[in-house]
Amino acid sequence: MIENSEARELCSNLEWELVESSFSPMLNSLPQSDLKSRLDRAIQLYRKTKNLVSQRHSESGQRTTRRKTRMFAEALDRFEAALDLLENAQSMRPSPKDVHDKKVAAETQRLNMDALQDHANRELESRKSRVLSAMAVHGEQQGQKSGARHIQSHVGSANRRQQGRRDTKNR
């Protein structure tokens, strides 16, 4: 079996998400439709890497591609086993333990979704702060280029407008 660290190095981000979802905690919380789609994707990647082995010219490239093929085969086996288990469980009448397991799976899925939402929120906040700081730096650079001073535009202009109105009334 290929180690997680080695598998992470072999995969792109999307491939790693697929392989990572084939491990136990996340695998058990997936519905049947997701399992089938991930199984299909794992089959596609397995076939693709299997065909790529013969196209690689260097020995190291072939070795890396074989390891990647083995990794997708393992993920494929895990998806198939989970899908078989899920289909067998659905064919049987649910027992109290099955109801409990479904509650645990639903709770796990909810917690995973909460964690993903928290991660997305933190990432959004991080992006916002980076954009705001970039905009501030850009504004400072523009002011330095033109030789202008940093003037508070709204504070001084209000009194000037009022004075201008007073001046035009008495004419």
Query: Could you report the per-residue pLDDT of 6-30, keeping only the tens digit for each?
Result: 777 888 888 888 888 888 788 888 8
Q: Which contacts qualify for 145-153: CB closer than 8 Å, 24 or more apart?
A: none
Pick 107 or 69 by higher pLDDT: 69
Query: Could you report the per-residue pLDDT of 31-47, keeping only the tens digit for each?
Result: 888 889 989 999 999 99
Question: In the chain, where are the structural domains located?
Answer: 1-92, 94-142
Q: What is the distance between the alpha carbons of residues 43 and 115, in angstroms, rounded to a whole number?
A: 29
Query: Taking residues 159-163, what's their average pLDDT?
Result: 76
The per-residue pLDDT for 141 is 66
- What is the model's pTM? 0.50
In degrees and rounded to multiples of 5, residue 144 shows phi and psi of -70, -35
The per-residue pLDDT for 143 is 61
The per-residue pLDDT for 47 is 92
- Look at 45-49, 51-55, 101-105 and tell me which has the smallest mean pLDDT: 101-105
